[in-house]
Amino acid sequence: MNGQGWLQVGELALAFALSAAIGLERELRQKSAGLRTHTIVGLGSALFLLISKYGFQNVVVPGQVVVDPSRVAAQIVSGLGFIGAGLIFVQRGSVRGLTTAATIWLAAAIGAAAAAGLPLLAVLCTAGHFTVLYGLTPLARRLSGRQPANALLSCTYIDGRGVLRDLLRTCTASG
């Protein structure tokens, strides 16, 4: 087997579909890394793992050359840390992008699991992603007493007195 059969096509398709599902959720929430980013990361991760599993069979000589596919998986984790770090911003004591960076990392792991022939784990982790973001977010908000970040502000003012400018400055300063 040369690693380019229907099994590997299925593993790539699974990585594509599951990573795209996570990316779609991030896209719908209008996050910086959305459908395309997560799908590419998951698919690329799957391909790297398939390369590590099958791409070096012609150079493996029993007793002389040993290939360790876990080394490629470890490099996926390291490389995605670099991408994730670029998505995290700290501004005025507030951290933004941390969940997006984590979902990129998870999409890579799901892609690698799909390519490693572990479809059940890939599907369960995809379901876990949606459980965390759709189930735990409202629960955490309810437990902490926090209100959603969106607020509606209605203001009536007399034109020409600079009230709107002051209001915008105050709102901007408050984030």
The pair phi, psi for residue 96, each rounded to 5°, is: -125, 145
Q: What pTM does this model have?
A: 0.61
pLDDT at 30: 81
136 falls within a domain: yes
166 falls within a domain: no
pLDDT at 40: 85
175 falls within a domain: no
Cβ neighbour number for residue 154 with a 10 Å cutoff: 4
How many domains, in total, are found in the chain?
Answer: 1
165 falls within a domain: no
Report whether 120 contacts 81 (CB < 8 A).
no
What does pLDDT average to over the chain? 81
pLDDT at 69: 67
Decide if pLDDT at 27 tops 80.
yes
- Per-residue pLDDT of 97-112, as tens digits, reads 888 888 888 998 898 8
- Per-residue pLDDT of 116-133, as tens digits, reads 888 998 999 999 889 888
Distances (CA, A) of 142 to 64, 111, 130: 60, 33, 18
174 falls within a domain: no
Query: Range of 94's domain?
Result: 6-149
Distances (CA, A) of 67 to 23, 62, 109: 32, 10, 21
More confident residue, 55 or 85: 85
113 falls within a domain: yes
Confidence band for 58, pLDDT divided at 50, 70 and 90: low
170 falls within a domain: no
- 95 forms bridges with which residues in the sheet? 90
Task: Report, as an integer, the average pLDDT of 39-67.
Answer: 78
Decide if pLDDT at 32 tops 70.
yes
Percentage of residues of the chain with pLDDT beyond 90? 13
Coil, strand or helix: which one is 25? helix
